Structure 1
Amino acid sequence: MIDSHVHLDADQYPDPSGAIKRARDAGVSAMVAPGVGPASNLAVIELARKFRGVILPALGFHPERFEHSEDDSREVLGLIERDSICAIGEVGLPWYGERANDAAVLDAAKVTLARFAHAAAALDLPLILHAPHARAAEALAIIREAGVRRAVFHWHKSDEQTTRAIFNAGYFISLTPEVAYRARDQDLARMLPANRILVETDGPWPYGGQFAGRLTEPAMIKEVVAAIAHLRCTTFEEIAAATTANARALFRIRE
Protein backbone atom coordinates (compact mmCIF):
# COMPACT_ATOMS: atom_id res chain seq x y z
CA MET A 1 0.00 0.00 0.00
CA ILE A 2 1.03 3.61 -0.54
CA ASP A 3 0.03 6.63 1.55
CA SER A 4 -0.30 9.25 -1.17
CA HIS A 5 -0.35 12.27 1.16
CA VAL A 6 1.19 12.60 4.63
CA HIS A 7 3.03 15.55 6.21
CA LEU A 8 5.80 13.58 7.87
CA ASP A 9 8.43 16.23 8.61
CA ALA A 10 9.58 16.75 12.19
CA ASP A 11 7.49 19.91 12.67
CA GLN A 12 4.39 17.73 12.29
CA TYR A 13 5.45 14.47 13.97
CA PRO A 14 7.41 14.09 17.21
CA ASP A 15 8.98 10.88 15.88
CA PRO A 16 8.87 10.58 12.06
CA SER A 17 11.16 7.53 12.11
CA GLY A 18 8.81 5.66 14.42
CA ALA A 19 5.78 6.53 12.30
CA ILE A 20 7.59 5.31 9.19
CA LYS A 21 8.56 2.02 10.85
CA ARG A 22 5.01 1.39 12.04
CA ALA A 23 3.75 2.10 8.53
CA ARG A 24 6.21 -0.35 6.98
CA ASP A 25 5.19 -2.98 9.54
CA ALA A 26 1.54 -2.41 8.54
CA GLY A 27 2.30 -3.02 4.86
CA VAL A 28 2.76 0.57 3.65
CA SER A 29 5.66 0.41 1.22
CA ALA A 30 5.94 4.11 0.37
CA MET A 31 4.69 7.48 1.57
CA VAL A 32 4.37 10.66 -0.49
CA ALA A 33 5.39 13.64 1.64
CA PRO A 34 4.15 16.94 0.20
CA GLY A 35 5.71 20.25 1.21
CA VAL A 36 3.64 23.35 1.87
CA GLY A 37 6.24 26.12 1.55
CA PRO A 38 9.99 26.85 1.47
CA ALA A 39 10.95 25.53 4.93
CA SER A 40 8.62 22.55 4.69
CA ASN A 41 9.98 21.64 1.26
CA LEU A 42 13.56 21.57 2.54
CA ALA A 43 12.48 19.32 5.42
CA VAL A 44 10.75 16.97 2.97
CA ILE A 45 13.89 16.75 0.83
CA GLU A 46 16.00 15.84 3.87
CA LEU A 47 13.48 13.22 5.00
CA ALA A 48 13.46 11.65 1.54
CA ARG A 49 17.27 11.47 1.54
CA LYS A 50 17.20 9.72 4.90
CA PHE A 51 14.50 7.23 3.84
CA ARG A 52 15.37 6.85 0.19
CA GLY A 53 12.76 4.94 -1.80
CA VAL A 54 10.30 4.96 1.10
CA ILE A 55 9.60 8.69 1.51
CA LEU A 56 8.82 10.26 -1.86
CA PRO A 57 9.20 14.05 -1.83
CA ALA A 58 6.77 16.52 -3.38
CA LEU A 59 7.47 20.24 -3.25
CA GLY A 60 4.58 22.63 -2.83
CA PHE A 61 3.15 26.00 -1.96
CA HIS A 62 -0.02 25.61 0.08
CA PRO A 63 -2.73 28.04 -1.03
CA GLU A 64 -3.93 28.69 2.54
CA ARG A 65 -0.53 29.54 4.00
CA PHE A 66 -1.19 33.23 3.56
CA GLU A 67 2.05 34.14 5.31
CA HIS A 68 3.98 33.00 2.24
CA SER A 69 5.02 35.65 -0.26
CA GLU A 70 5.50 35.95 -4.01
CA ASP A 71 9.23 35.57 -3.41
CA ASP A 72 8.52 32.32 -1.56
CA SER A 73 6.56 31.09 -4.58
CA ARG A 74 9.49 31.79 -6.88
CA GLU A 75 11.84 30.01 -4.45
CA VAL A 76 9.65 26.90 -4.55
CA LEU A 77 9.57 26.95 -8.35
CA GLY A 78 13.36 27.11 -8.36
CA LEU A 79 13.59 24.09 -6.03
CA ILE A 80 11.18 22.15 -8.23
CA GLU A 81 13.39 22.68 -11.26
CA ARG A 82 16.55 21.56 -9.41
CA ASP A 83 15.48 18.64 -7.22
CA SER A 84 14.42 15.11 -8.05
CA ILE A 85 10.82 14.87 -6.83
CA CYS A 86 7.75 12.72 -7.45
CA ALA A 87 5.24 15.58 -7.73
CA ILE A 88 4.50 19.27 -7.34
CA GLY A 89 2.31 19.79 -4.31
CA GLU A 90 0.59 20.58 -2.22
CA VAL A 91 -0.70 23.43 -4.38
CA GLY A 92 -4.18 24.65 -5.25
CA LEU A 93 -6.84 27.17 -4.32
CA PRO A 94 -7.98 28.44 -0.89
CA TRP A 95 -11.42 27.68 0.51
CA TYR A 96 -11.43 27.96 4.30
CA GLY A 97 -11.74 31.22 6.24
CA GLU A 98 -12.53 34.82 5.33
CA ARG A 99 -9.37 35.45 3.33
CA ALA A 100 -10.13 32.57 0.99
CA ASN A 101 -13.32 34.36 -0.06
CA ASP A 102 -11.57 37.66 -0.78
CA ALA A 103 -11.75 38.18 -4.56
CA ALA A 104 -8.22 39.58 -4.80
CA VAL A 105 -6.77 36.72 -2.76
CA LEU A 106 -8.56 34.13 -4.88
CA ASP A 107 -7.50 35.79 -8.14
CA ALA A 108 -3.87 35.79 -6.98
CA ALA A 109 -4.16 32.13 -5.96
CA LYS A 110 -5.44 31.23 -9.42
CA VAL A 111 -2.44 32.93 -11.01
CA THR A 112 -0.10 31.05 -8.67
CA LEU A 113 -1.78 27.70 -9.35
CA ALA A 114 -1.54 28.32 -13.10
CA ARG A 115 2.18 28.98 -12.69
CA PHE A 116 2.69 25.67 -10.89
CA ALA A 117 0.44 23.87 -13.37
CA HIS A 118 2.50 25.10 -16.30
CA ALA A 119 5.66 23.97 -14.49
CA ALA A 120 4.11 20.52 -13.98
CA ALA A 121 3.23 20.29 -17.66
CA ALA A 122 6.70 21.43 -18.76
CA LEU A 123 8.52 19.06 -16.38
CA ASP A 124 6.03 16.18 -16.86
CA LEU A 125 5.32 16.01 -13.14
CA PRO A 126 1.99 15.32 -11.44
CA LEU A 127 0.17 17.87 -9.28
CA ILE A 128 -1.14 17.24 -5.77
CA LEU A 129 -4.11 19.58 -5.47
CA HIS A 130 -5.75 21.22 -2.47
CA ALA A 131 -9.07 22.34 -4.01
CA PRO A 132 -11.95 21.67 -1.60
CA HIS A 133 -15.63 21.95 -2.49
CA ALA A 134 -16.36 24.51 -5.24
CA ARG A 135 -12.67 25.18 -5.78
CA ALA A 136 -12.29 21.76 -7.40
CA ALA A 137 -14.06 22.84 -10.60
CA GLU A 138 -11.97 26.01 -10.77
CA ALA A 139 -8.73 24.09 -10.24
CA LEU A 140 -9.74 21.51 -12.84
CA ALA A 141 -10.21 24.23 -15.46
CA ILE A 142 -6.81 25.75 -14.64
CA ILE A 143 -4.83 22.52 -14.84
CA ARG A 144 -6.56 21.36 -18.00
CA GLU A 145 -5.80 24.68 -19.69
CA ALA A 146 -2.16 24.33 -18.64
CA GLY A 147 -1.92 20.84 -20.15
CA VAL A 148 -1.29 18.96 -16.90
CA ARG A 149 -1.28 15.25 -17.70
CA ARG A 150 -1.26 13.77 -14.19
CA ALA A 151 -2.91 15.06 -11.01
CA VAL A 152 -4.65 14.00 -7.82
CA PHE A 153 -7.39 15.97 -6.08
CA HIS A 154 -6.41 15.24 -2.51
CA TRP A 155 -9.14 14.80 0.16
CA HIS A 156 -11.72 15.60 -2.50
CA LYS A 157 -14.99 17.31 -1.48
CA SER A 158 -17.10 18.43 -4.42
CA ASP A 159 -20.32 17.78 -6.31
CA GLU A 160 -20.92 14.72 -8.48
CA GLN A 161 -20.68 16.60 -11.78
CA THR A 162 -17.24 17.98 -10.93
CA THR A 163 -16.10 14.63 -9.56
CA ARG A 164 -17.04 12.88 -12.79
CA ALA A 165 -15.31 15.57 -14.84
CA ILE A 166 -12.13 15.01 -12.82
CA PHE A 167 -11.93 11.26 -13.30
CA ASN A 168 -13.15 11.44 -16.90
CA ALA A 169 -10.21 13.76 -17.55
CA GLY A 170 -7.91 10.96 -16.34
CA TYR A 171 -7.03 12.51 -12.99
CA PHE A 172 -7.11 10.76 -9.60
CA ILE A 173 -9.10 11.37 -6.41
CA SER A 174 -7.86 10.38 -2.97
CA LEU A 175 -9.81 9.07 0.01
CA THR A 176 -8.87 9.66 3.66
CA PRO A 177 -9.77 7.91 6.92
CA GLU A 178 -13.10 9.78 6.77
CA VAL A 179 -14.26 7.07 4.35
CA ALA A 180 -14.63 4.76 7.36
CA TYR A 181 -17.35 6.88 9.00
CA ARG A 182 -18.55 9.84 6.88
CA ALA A 183 -21.44 9.37 4.43
CA ARG A 184 -20.10 11.89 1.90
CA ASP A 185 -16.81 10.05 1.55
CA GLN A 186 -18.53 6.66 1.51
CA ASP A 187 -20.71 7.74 -1.40
CA LEU A 188 -17.56 8.91 -3.19
CA ALA A 189 -15.84 5.56 -2.57
CA ARG A 190 -18.75 3.71 -4.17
CA MET A 191 -18.91 6.05 -7.18
CA LEU A 192 -15.26 6.28 -8.22
CA PRO A 193 -13.82 3.93 -10.86
CA ALA A 194 -11.31 1.59 -9.25
CA ASN A 195 -8.53 2.90 -11.48
CA ARG A 196 -8.98 6.51 -10.26
CA ILE A 197 -8.74 5.99 -6.47
CA LEU A 198 -5.79 6.81 -4.23
CA VAL A 199 -5.63 6.49 -0.44
CA GLU A 200 -4.07 8.96 1.97
CA THR A 201 -3.99 9.89 5.63
CA ASP A 202 -3.10 13.60 5.37
CA GLY A 203 -1.44 12.99 8.72
CA PRO A 204 -1.18 14.33 11.29
CA TRP A 205 -4.67 15.78 10.67
CA PRO A 206 -6.97 14.30 13.36
CA TYR A 207 -10.09 12.31 12.49
CA GLY A 208 -13.27 11.22 14.21
CA GLY A 209 -15.09 7.92 14.22
CA GLN A 210 -12.89 4.95 15.00
CA PHE A 211 -9.82 7.20 14.73
CA ALA A 212 -10.85 9.72 17.38
CA GLY A 213 -8.09 10.44 19.88
CA ARG A 214 -5.42 8.68 17.80
CA LEU A 215 -2.40 10.30 16.20
CA THR A 216 -2.96 10.03 12.45
CA GLU A 217 -0.12 7.98 10.97
CA PRO A 218 0.54 6.31 7.59
CA ALA A 219 -0.14 2.91 9.21
CA MET A 220 -3.84 3.91 9.18
CA ILE A 221 -3.85 3.36 5.40
CA LYS A 222 -4.59 -0.29 6.15
CA GLU A 223 -7.89 0.75 7.77
CA VAL A 224 -8.72 3.11 4.89
CA VAL A 225 -8.26 0.30 2.38
CA ALA A 226 -10.38 -2.04 4.51
CA ALA A 227 -13.20 0.53 4.69
CA ILE A 228 -13.21 1.02 0.91
CA ALA A 229 -13.23 -2.73 0.31
CA HIS A 230 -16.24 -3.09 2.61
CA LEU A 231 -18.13 -0.27 0.87
CA ARG A 232 -17.43 -1.68 -2.59
CA CYS A 233 -18.24 -5.27 -1.55
CA THR A 234 -14.84 -6.56 -2.59
CA THR A 235 -11.65 -7.77 -0.94
CA PHE A 236 -8.98 -5.89 0.93
CA GLU A 237 -6.40 -7.34 -1.45
CA GLU A 238 -8.21 -6.02 -4.52
CA ILE A 239 -8.40 -2.44 -3.19
CA ALA A 240 -4.83 -2.53 -1.91
CA ALA A 241 -3.59 -3.70 -5.31
CA ALA A 242 -5.66 -1.17 -7.26
CA THR A 243 -4.76 1.87 -5.16
CA THR A 244 -1.10 0.90 -5.11
CA ALA A 245 -1.06 0.51 -8.89
CA ASN A 246 -2.78 3.89 -9.24
CA ALA A 247 -0.22 5.60 -7.02
CA ARG A 248 2.62 3.98 -8.91
CA ALA A 249 1.16 5.22 -12.20
CA LEU A 250 0.55 8.77 -10.95
CA PHE A 251 3.91 9.26 -9.26
CA ARG A 252 5.85 6.88 -11.53
CA ILE A 253 7.02 4.80 -8.61
CA ARG A 254 9.09 1.78 -9.55
CA GLU A 255 8.34 -1.57 -7.94
Structure 2
Amino acid sequence: MFVDSHCHLDRLDKSPEALRETLDFARRRGVEHFLCVSVSVNDYPMMVETVAEFDDVSVSCGVHPLHQDEACSYEALLAAASDDKVVAIGETGLDYYYSADTREVQVQSFIDHIRVANETGKPLIIHTRDARQETIELLKAHLAPGTQGVLHCFTEDLAMAEAAIELGFYISLSGIVTFKSAAELQEVAKAIPLERMLIETDSPWLAPVPYRGKPNQPGYVVEVAEFIANLRGISTKALAEATTANFYRLFSLATSTEKVASA
Protein backbone atom coordinates (compact mmCIF):
# COMPACT_ATOMS: atom_id res chain seq x y z
CA MET A 1 0.00 0.00 0.00
CA PHE A 2 1.12 3.55 -0.81
CA VAL A 3 0.80 6.89 0.98
CA ASP A 4 0.70 10.28 -0.73
CA SER A 5 2.66 12.17 1.90
CA HIS A 6 2.02 15.61 0.38
CA CYS A 7 -0.95 16.77 -1.67
CA HIS A 8 -3.24 19.78 -1.83
CA LEU A 9 -6.72 18.31 -2.13
CA ASP A 10 -8.33 21.70 -1.57
CA ARG A 11 -6.49 23.03 -4.63
CA LEU A 12 -7.63 20.34 -7.07
CA ASP A 13 -10.45 22.61 -8.28
CA LYS A 14 -12.96 19.80 -8.06
CA SER A 15 -16.53 19.49 -6.85
CA PRO A 16 -17.08 17.36 -3.73
CA GLU A 17 -18.27 14.50 -5.94
CA ALA A 18 -15.24 14.79 -8.23
CA LEU A 19 -12.90 14.83 -5.22
CA ARG A 20 -14.49 11.63 -3.96
CA GLU A 21 -13.95 10.03 -7.36
CA THR A 22 -10.32 11.20 -7.42
CA LEU A 23 -9.64 9.68 -4.02
CA ASP A 24 -11.49 6.48 -4.96
CA PHE A 25 -9.24 6.18 -8.03
CA ALA A 26 -6.19 6.50 -5.79
CA ARG A 27 -7.54 3.94 -3.33
CA ARG A 28 -8.17 1.46 -6.14
CA ARG A 29 -4.50 1.87 -7.06
CA GLY A 30 -3.46 1.02 -3.51
CA VAL A 31 -3.08 4.47 -1.92
CA GLU A 32 -4.22 4.09 1.68
CA HIS A 33 -3.59 7.54 3.14
CA PHE A 34 -3.28 11.16 2.06
CA LEU A 35 -1.71 14.15 3.82
CA CYS A 36 -3.43 17.35 2.72
CA VAL A 37 -0.95 20.16 3.28
CA SER A 38 -1.80 23.73 4.21
CA VAL A 39 -0.31 26.76 2.46
CA SER A 40 -2.23 29.40 4.41
CA VAL A 41 -3.51 29.56 7.97
CA ASN A 42 -6.33 31.75 6.66
CA ASP A 43 -7.44 28.94 4.34
CA TYR A 44 -6.89 26.18 6.90
CA PRO A 45 -10.52 26.02 8.13
CA MET A 46 -11.84 25.71 4.57
CA MET A 47 -9.23 23.06 3.76
CA VAL A 48 -10.29 21.02 6.80
CA GLU A 49 -13.93 21.33 5.77
CA THR A 50 -13.08 20.12 2.25
CA VAL A 51 -11.57 16.85 3.51
CA ALA A 52 -13.56 16.35 6.71
CA GLU A 53 -15.56 13.37 5.42
CA PHE A 54 -12.49 11.30 4.58
CA ASP A 55 -11.04 9.19 7.40
CA ASP A 56 -7.92 8.44 5.33
CA VAL A 57 -6.97 12.12 4.90
CA SER A 58 -4.83 13.93 7.47
CA VAL A 59 -4.03 17.65 7.47
CA SER A 60 -1.20 20.02 8.29
CA CYS A 61 -1.30 23.70 9.22
CA GLY A 62 1.12 26.40 8.12
CA VAL A 63 2.06 29.20 5.73
CA HIS A 64 3.92 28.47 2.49
CA PRO A 65 6.99 30.69 1.97
CA LEU A 66 5.42 32.06 -1.22
CA HIS A 67 2.25 33.07 0.67
CA GLN A 68 3.86 35.62 2.96
CA ASP A 69 1.13 38.13 2.16
CA GLU A 70 -0.92 35.82 4.42
CA ALA A 71 1.74 35.50 7.12
CA CYS A 72 0.47 35.33 10.68
CA SER A 73 1.95 35.81 14.12
CA TYR A 74 3.61 33.03 16.09
CA GLU A 75 0.66 33.08 18.50
CA ALA A 76 -1.93 32.71 15.71
CA LEU A 77 0.06 29.91 14.10
CA LEU A 78 0.42 28.08 17.41
CA ALA A 79 -3.30 28.38 18.13
CA ALA A 80 -4.27 27.02 14.71
CA ALA A 81 -1.62 24.29 14.65
CA SER A 82 -2.61 23.04 18.11
CA ASP A 83 -5.87 21.73 16.63
CA ASP A 84 -6.13 17.99 17.31
CA LYS A 85 -6.74 17.40 13.59
CA VAL A 86 -3.28 18.74 12.68
CA VAL A 87 -0.59 16.07 12.29
CA ALA A 88 2.20 18.35 10.99
CA ILE A 89 3.37 21.97 10.84
CA GLY A 90 3.73 23.58 7.42
CA GLU A 91 4.42 23.72 4.74
CA THR A 92 7.01 26.30 5.64
CA GLY A 93 10.55 27.08 4.59
CA LEU A 94 12.45 29.36 2.23
CA ASP A 95 12.04 30.03 -1.48
CA TYR A 96 14.54 32.50 -2.89
CA TYR A 97 13.98 31.29 -6.47
CA TYR A 98 10.55 32.85 -6.84
CA SER A 99 10.46 35.37 -4.01
CA ALA A 100 13.85 36.53 -2.75
CA ASP A 101 12.30 39.97 -2.12
CA THR A 102 10.40 38.60 0.90
CA ARG A 103 13.49 37.01 2.42
CA GLU A 104 13.24 38.64 5.85
CA VAL A 105 9.56 37.75 6.22
CA GLN A 106 10.21 34.19 5.06
CA VAL A 107 12.99 33.72 7.59
CA GLN A 108 10.88 34.94 10.50
CA SER A 109 7.94 32.81 9.39
CA PHE A 110 10.21 29.77 9.10
CA ILE A 111 11.59 30.33 12.61
CA ASP A 112 8.05 30.70 13.96
CA HIS A 113 7.05 27.39 12.35
CA ILE A 114 10.08 25.64 13.86
CA ARG A 115 9.16 27.02 17.28
CA VAL A 116 5.56 25.83 16.87
CA ALA A 117 6.81 22.37 15.89
CA ASN A 118 9.00 22.35 18.99
CA GLU A 119 6.07 23.44 21.16
CA THR A 120 3.51 21.00 19.77
CA GLY A 121 5.81 18.04 19.12
CA LYS A 122 4.52 17.84 15.55
CA PRO A 123 6.87 17.35 12.57
CA LEU A 124 7.76 20.07 10.08
CA ILE A 125 6.99 20.01 6.35
CA ILE A 126 9.64 22.12 4.62
CA HIS A 127 9.69 23.68 1.17
CA THR A 128 13.17 24.86 0.17
CA ARG A 129 14.44 26.29 -3.10
CA ASP A 130 17.65 28.19 -3.76
CA ALA A 131 18.20 28.42 0.00
CA ARG A 132 20.17 25.28 0.83
CA GLN A 133 22.65 26.63 3.34
CA GLU A 134 20.27 28.96 5.16
CA THR A 135 17.57 26.29 5.46
CA ILE A 136 19.97 23.90 7.19
CA GLU A 137 21.50 26.67 9.32
CA LEU A 138 18.08 27.78 10.61
CA LEU A 139 17.11 24.22 11.42
CA LYS A 140 20.34 23.69 13.35
CA ALA A 141 19.85 26.96 15.21
CA HIS A 142 16.20 26.54 16.22
CA LEU A 143 15.21 22.86 16.24
CA ALA A 144 14.58 21.38 19.67
CA PRO A 145 15.90 17.89 20.37
CA GLY A 146 13.47 15.35 18.96
CA THR A 147 11.73 17.69 16.52
CA GLN A 148 11.70 16.05 13.10
CA GLY A 149 10.32 16.75 9.68
CA VAL A 150 10.62 16.30 5.94
CA LEU A 151 12.09 18.23 3.05
CA HIS A 152 9.20 17.81 0.66
CA CYS A 153 9.29 17.76 -3.15
CA PHE A 154 13.06 17.58 -2.85
CA THR A 155 15.01 19.08 -5.77
CA GLU A 156 18.34 19.91 -4.15
CA ASP A 157 21.64 18.02 -4.08
CA LEU A 158 22.80 14.95 -2.16
CA ALA A 159 24.84 17.04 0.27
CA MET A 160 21.73 18.89 1.42
CA ALA A 161 19.76 15.65 1.68
CA GLU A 162 22.50 14.15 3.84
CA ALA A 163 22.65 17.27 6.04
CA ALA A 164 18.89 17.10 6.60
CA ILE A 165 19.01 13.38 7.35
CA GLU A 166 21.69 14.03 9.95
CA LEU A 167 19.19 16.34 11.66
CA GLY A 168 16.64 13.53 11.78
CA PHE A 169 14.71 14.61 8.69
CA TYR A 170 13.19 12.62 5.85
CA ILE A 171 13.45 13.36 2.12
CA SER A 172 10.27 13.25 0.04
CA LEU A 173 10.39 12.74 -3.72
CA SER A 174 7.69 13.85 -6.13
CA GLY A 175 6.96 13.34 -9.82
CA ILE A 176 9.91 15.59 -10.65
CA VAL A 177 12.18 12.58 -10.15
CA THR A 178 10.65 11.01 -13.30
CA PHE A 179 11.59 13.95 -15.55
CA LYS A 180 14.39 13.48 -18.08
CA SER A 181 15.97 16.72 -16.84
CA ALA A 182 16.22 15.41 -13.25
CA ALA A 183 19.45 13.38 -13.53
CA GLU A 184 20.97 14.86 -10.34
CA LEU A 185 17.77 14.23 -8.39
CA GLN A 186 17.66 10.65 -9.65
CA GLU A 187 21.13 10.13 -8.18
CA VAL A 188 19.82 11.44 -4.87
CA ALA A 189 16.90 9.00 -5.10
CA LYS A 190 19.35 6.13 -5.51
CA ALA A 191 21.72 7.26 -2.75
CA ILE A 192 19.61 8.23 0.25
CA PRO A 193 18.72 5.54 2.81
CA LEU A 194 15.38 3.92 2.07
CA GLU A 195 14.41 4.31 5.72
CA ARG A 196 14.56 8.09 5.27
CA MET A 197 12.49 8.35 2.08
CA LEU A 198 8.91 9.45 1.50
CA ILE A 199 6.97 9.76 -1.76
CA GLU A 200 4.38 12.34 -2.75
CA THR A 201 2.52 13.93 -5.62
CA ASP A 202 2.31 17.59 -4.53
CA SER A 203 -0.88 17.47 -6.59
CA PRO A 204 -2.38 19.26 -8.42
CA TRP A 205 1.11 20.20 -9.63
CA LEU A 206 4.12 18.30 -11.01
CA ALA A 207 2.46 15.24 -12.49
CA PRO A 208 4.96 12.43 -13.12
CA VAL A 209 5.75 10.90 -16.48
CA PRO A 210 3.64 9.77 -18.37
CA TYR A 211 1.15 12.41 -17.14
CA ARG A 212 3.56 15.34 -17.21
CA GLY A 213 1.80 18.55 -18.25
CA LYS A 214 -1.57 17.33 -17.01
CA PRO A 215 -3.21 18.05 -13.65
CA ASN A 216 -1.67 15.84 -11.00
CA GLN A 217 -3.66 13.70 -8.55
CA PRO A 218 -2.86 11.46 -5.56
CA GLY A 219 -3.28 8.24 -7.53
CA TYR A 220 -0.20 9.12 -9.56
CA VAL A 221 2.03 8.54 -6.52
CA VAL A 222 2.17 4.98 -7.84
CA GLU A 223 4.21 6.15 -10.86
CA VAL A 224 6.61 7.97 -8.52
CA ALA A 225 7.08 4.77 -6.51
CA GLU A 226 7.55 2.60 -9.59
CA PHE A 227 10.17 4.93 -11.05
CA ILE A 228 12.22 5.15 -7.84
CA ALA A 229 11.98 1.40 -7.27
CA ASN A 230 13.36 0.81 -10.77
CA LEU A 231 16.20 3.28 -10.11
CA ARG A 232 17.14 1.46 -6.93
CA GLY A 233 16.71 -2.04 -8.35
CA ILE A 234 14.06 -3.10 -5.86
CA SER A 235 10.41 -4.06 -6.18
CA THR A 236 7.68 -1.43 -6.11
CA LYS A 237 6.16 -3.39 -3.22
CA ALA A 238 9.34 -3.01 -1.16
CA LEU A 239 9.51 0.71 -1.95
CA ALA A 240 5.84 1.16 -1.04
CA GLU A 241 6.13 -0.75 2.21
CA ALA A 242 9.20 1.19 3.31
CA THR A 243 7.88 4.66 2.47
CA THR A 244 4.49 3.90 4.02
CA ALA A 245 6.15 2.75 7.25
CA ASN A 246 8.33 5.87 7.18
CA PHE A 247 5.24 8.06 6.81
CA TYR A 248 3.53 6.68 9.90
CA ARG A 249 6.78 6.81 11.84
CA LEU A 250 7.23 10.50 11.09
CA PHE A 251 3.58 11.57 11.13
CA SER A 252 2.63 9.52 14.16
CA LEU A 253 -0.68 11.36 14.62
CA ALA A 254 -1.88 10.18 11.20
CA THR A 255 -4.01 7.08 11.68
CA SER A 256 -3.79 4.21 9.24
CA THR A 257 -7.28 3.13 8.21
CA GLU A 258 -5.95 -0.43 8.09
CA LYS A 259 -4.91 -0.15 11.74
CA VAL A 260 -8.33 1.21 12.65
CA ALA A 261 -10.08 -1.62 10.81
CA SER A 262 -7.99 -4.28 12.56
CA ALA A 263 -8.30 -2.75 16.04
The TM-score with structure 2 as length reference comes to 0.87
Change over 3 Å in CA distance of 1:51–1:228 after alignment to 2: same
Give yes or no for contact 1:47–1:55 (8 Å, CA) kept in 2. no
Counterpart residue type for residue 16 of structure 1: L
CA distance in structure 2 between the aligned counterparts of 1:12 and 1:95, rounded to whole angstroms: 26
Give yes or no for contact 1:117–1:127 (8 Å, CA) kept in 2. yes
Change over 3 Å in CA distance of 1:83–1:184 after alignment to 2: same
Structure 2: which 5+ runs fail to align?
A: none
Find 1:108's aligned residue among 97, 105, 109: 105
Find 1:159's aligned residue among 139, 154, 157: 157
3-state secondary structure, aligned to 2:23: helix
CA distance in structure 2 between the aligned counterparts of 1:41 and 1:76, rounded to whole angstroms: 11
3-state secondary structure, aligned to 2:6: coil
Residues 174-183 or 202-211, more deviating: 202-211
Shift of 1:89: 1.1
Counterpart residue type for residue 65 of structure 1: H
Per the alignment, residue 132 of structure 2 pairs with: 136
Change over 3 Å in CA distance of 1:69–1:239 after alignment to 2: closer
Per the alignment, residue 38 of structure 1 pairs with: 41
Residues 34-43 or 226-235, more deviating: 34-43
Give yes or no for contact 1:34–1:41 (8 Å, CA) kept in 2. no
- The structure richer in strand per residue is 2
CA distance in structure 2 between the aligned counterparts of 1:101 and 1:114, rounded to whole angstroms: 17
Change over 3 Å in CA distance of 1:145–1:48 after alignment to 2: farther
Percent identity, please.
Answer: 28
Per the alignment, residue 168 of structure 2 pairs with: 170
CA distance in structure 2 between the aligned counterparts of 1:68 and 1:213, rounded to whole angstroms: 29
Per the alignment, residue 233 of structure 1 pairs with: 233
Residues 123-132 or 153-162, more deviating: 153-162
Per the alignment, residue 70 of structure 2 pairs with: 68
Change over 3 Å in CA distance of 1:248–1:208 after alignment to 2: closer
The TM-score with structure 1 as length reference comes to 0.90
Q: Are positions 1:24 and 2:27 aligned together? A: yes
Per the alignment, residue 195 of structure 1 pairs with: 195
Counterpart residue type for residue 59 of structure 1: C
3-state secondary structure, aligned to 1:131: strand
Structure 1: which 5+ runs fail to align?
A: none
Per the alignment, residue 96 of structure 1 pairs with: 97
3-state secondary structure, aligned to 2:233: coil
Shift of 1:74: 4.8
What is the root-mean-square deviation in Å for CA atoms of aligned residues? 1.8
3-state secondary structure, aligned to 1:3: strand
